[in-house]
Amino acid sequence: MQRFMDQLTRRKVVNFGHSELRRVLGVLDLTMLGVGSTIGVGIYVLAGEVSRRSTGPAITISFLVAAIASLFAGLCYAEFGARVPKAGSAYIYTYVCIGEFVAFVIGWNLILEYVIGTASVARGFSQYVNALANNSIEDALQEAVPLLPENTKSFISTYPDFLSFGLAVILSVALALGVKESSRMNNIFTSINIIVIVFVIIAVGTQADPFNWRIPSDKIDGYCNITGNEGEEKGKWWGAGGFAPYGFKGIMEGAATCFFGFVGFDIIATTGEEAINPSRTIPLSIGISLFIIFLSYFGVSAVITLAFPYCVLDEDAPLVVIFDEDHIGWEAAKIFVSAGALFGFSASLFGAMFPLPRIIYAMASDGLVFRFFSQISKKFQTPTIATALSGIFAGGMAMFFELSSLVDMMSIGTLMAYTIVALCVLLLRYTVDEEDRDEEEGEAVLPTSVPSSYHISDYLHQLFNTRGFTKPTDLTASLVTKAIMCFCVLVLTLDILLVTLNEQLAKGNPGAITAIVIMGILNIANLIVIARQPESKKKLSFKVPLVPWVPAISTFINLYLMCSLDVNTWYRFGIWMAIGFAVYFGYGINHSTIEYRMQSKKLPCTNPVDTIGTIFDSDSEEEILYSQLSSD
């Protein structure tokens, strides 16, 4: 049992001096990658849907809340990008900080996130082209090769979507030909997309009328019905009028949806081995991309709700429909925006697929999934097999499945990754720094091995650091580790209570309010204990400010959104994880690179940092090991 636990918690020591991937991506490339993957689809759909159903003009506040939440996660990613500039994003961060099993869980969820993300964008791209063609593509395929009768409600598509499959495969070929070349294409698409967004903000802004942000409550329903929402929408209640017609609850519900409109910046962190000076460019690119993304969402949502009542906005394509003859009436602008949407979809598709083969490559290089996926093309210096698999897998899903029931699964993987990264920041900030441990230059700092001989009295004396320690020790590191474990339990309990007691809290139920207040006090007290402990003095090009508060807030928000997901999403997530566990325990645990090194050097399977550190001793040994593993 002890050996089994050591296998699950063994950690990776990273040497930054050698990589088979080309370091060719600068700040501009990474920023465009983050922007393109995030606003390619959401900007053309999200603003109309959320403002119409949840927020009204207050969607601007929802985007602001979502941006702040994303910023917290982005800061944590930026620090890890500075600490561990390697391919694999949250997967490699977790492998370095927590252990192999949790790293596999994160990596497996990131694969799910990017596969579904790529497939959904490819399917959306196809459906958008089909709509521009007056549904002629769908009608032809439905008649020629039907899979199910039309209008059948099922997770399987009623017809094979060859266009979406082709888009995914073509993009995978482009990615395999070289990251710099495909990055240039993404830069062009994203630049055109940004130009279109700026045009929309200026053009629609000329039609702005402040009255649309303060329509009286006694006129809102009739006003909306009169302005073109007759038929199935007639008689619909459009809220209480004014700037926030659906109240605070609507703003927060909108923020939860808008948060997923910011998902995508984390792919910047997957480029650690292809970025020029990653410890600087990754944090800088994350910050710039989040700022551009927020300005785009905020600007578009502000002008379209100022130009027209929120209730008349189209849910599926608000930026295109707003220029038709029933609204502004600029047909030429409608064509321009439609073309921009296609480029936006292309950039989003590139951004969704780009990190997928790199996650597979990183996991295969460590032996946690089948190792042949880590092979690198000598000519193009890209993970060709992993890229081809990504295109075929994502394209197949886009071709045969209705992805609307699977989209929420993407958010689980993302939120779990965000949470783990935030907790890793907390752990690393309070562990013994490399100067104290005399660690070799170029290696990542790992949580130290903590003696088990401390008594409760030792922890009680150290709760508020009354001894005045200025540098982390084994005692303080042990105390912080236990406090973080307590925080996870406390904050998860608080989030579950907030979700389950939502109606009681809205009604001012004293029992519900008391329970929330108690849990809030316990969480704050726990964080104060962590904040009192000495931090690591390790010098980094970027550090998250206000630790432990910023990572704690990020964890709170991420877990709250996870708790808000429906039960069916968790069922599907459970099936995916069951497949992952079969892969790990059937293959990965015994084919891990660390396991192989321990067995080949006849080392005991223990988990002290010094032992694992001596294993990773040279780049030449890495090449010998890889050739041995490939032959095996």
Structure tokens at 118: 């790529």
Q: What is d(CA 317, CA 337) in angstroms, rounded to the nearest whole number?
A: 10
pLDDT at 151 over 60: yes
pLDDT at 602 over 60: no
pLDDT at 450 over 60: no
**Coil, strand or helix: which one is 376?**
coil
- CA dist 576 to 22, 69, 406, Å? 33, 27, 11
Which among 282, 285, 264 is positioned nearest to 93, based on CA atoms? 282
Which tens digit of pLDDT belongs to each residue from 294-337? Answer: 999 999 999 988 988 888 887 767 777 788 777 777 878 888 88
pLDDT at 124 over 70: yes
CB 309 within 8 Å of CB 209 = no
**What residues does each domain of the chain span?**
21-406, 423-560
Mean confidence (pLDDT) of the chain: 77
Burial tier of 397 (Cβ tally within 10 Å: 0-12, 13-18, 19+) = buried
Structure tokens at 268: 């910047």
CB 14 within 8 Å of CB 88 = no
CB 373 within 8 Å of CB 158 = no
Residues 6+ apart with CB under 8 A from 47: 59, 297, 300, 301, 304, 313, 318, 319
Q: What is the predicted pLDDT for the residue at 465? A: 84
Give the pLDDT band of residue 513 (cuts 50, 70, 90).
very high
Residues 6+ apart with CB under 8 A from 486: 526
Which among 557, 545, 296 is positioned nearest to 414, based on CA atoms? 557
Which tens digit of pLDDT belongs to each residue from 358-409? Answer: 788 888 888 888 888 888 777 767 778 888 888 888 888 888 876 566 666 6
Q: What is d(CA 258, CA 253) in angstroms, rounded to the nearest whole number?
A: 9
pLDDT at 531 over 90: yes
- CA dist 400 to 123, 147, 153, 165, 328, Å? 10, 9, 14, 9, 38
Report the range of poorest mean pLDDT among 132-141, 212-221, 564-573, 613-622. Answer: 613-622
Residues 6+ apart with CB under 8 A from 219: 241
Report the range of poorest mean pLDDT among 281-285, 334-338, 462-466, 568-572. Answer: 568-572
Give whichever of 35-44, 492-501, 607-616 has the largest mean pLDDT.
Answer: 492-501
Q: What is d(CA 441, CA 454) in angstroms, rounded to the nearest whole number?
A: 31
Which tens digit of pLDDT belongs to each residue from 11-29? Answer: 877 665 555 556 677 888 8
Mean pLDDT to the nearest integer, 453-460: 77
Give the pLDDT band of residue 492 (cuts 50, 70, 90).
very high
Structure tokens at 564: 């808000």
Place of tokens 């993957």: 37
Q: What is d(CA 332, CA 103) in angstroms, rounded to the nearest whole number?
A: 51
pLDDT at 551 over 90: yes
pLDDT, greater one: 234 or 312? 312
Q: What is the predicted pLDDT for the residue at 234? A: 45
Which tens digit of pLDDT belongs to each residue from 62-74? Answer: 888 888 888 888 8
Q: What is d(CA 629, CA 632) in angstroms, rounded to the nearest whole number?
A: 5
Amino acid code (one letter) for 241: G
DSSP-H helix ranges across 10-152: 27-50, 59-83, 90-97, 100-132, 136-144
Give backbone dihedrals phi and psi of 401, rounded to 5 degrees, phi first: -120, 145
Give whichever of 212-216, 275-279, 536-540, 586-590 has the largest mean pLDDT.
Answer: 586-590
Q: What is the predicted pLDDT for the residue at 272? A: 64
Give the pLDDT band of residue 629 (cuts 50, 70, 90).
very low
Q: What is the predicted pLDDT for the residue at 520? A: 95
Which among 293, 270, 308, 328 is positioned nearest to 193, based on CA atoms? 293
Give the pLDDT band of residue 118 (cuts 50, 70, 90).
confident
Question: What CATH number should be reported for the domain whose range is 21-406?
Answer: 1.20.1740.10
Q: What is d(CA 130, CA 491) in angstroms, rounded to the nearest whole number?
A: 45
pLDDT, greater one: 362 or 202? 202
Report the range of poorest mean pLDDT among 41-45, 316-320, 439-443, 501-505. Answer: 439-443
CB 120 within 8 Å of CB 410 = yes
Structure tokens at 247: 């109240």
pLDDT at 55 over 70: yes
Give the pLDDT band of residue 231 (cuts 50, 70, 90).
very low
SS3 per-residue string spanning 494-520: HHHHHHHCHHHHHCCCHHHHHHHHHHH
Mean pLDDT to the nearest integer, 583-600: 84
Report the range of poorest mean pLDDT among 101-110, 116-125, 311-320, 438-447. Answer: 438-447
Which tens digit of pLDDT belongs to each residue from 555-564? Answer: 998 898 888 7
CB 110 within 8 Å of CB 411 = no
pLDDT at 49 over 50: yes
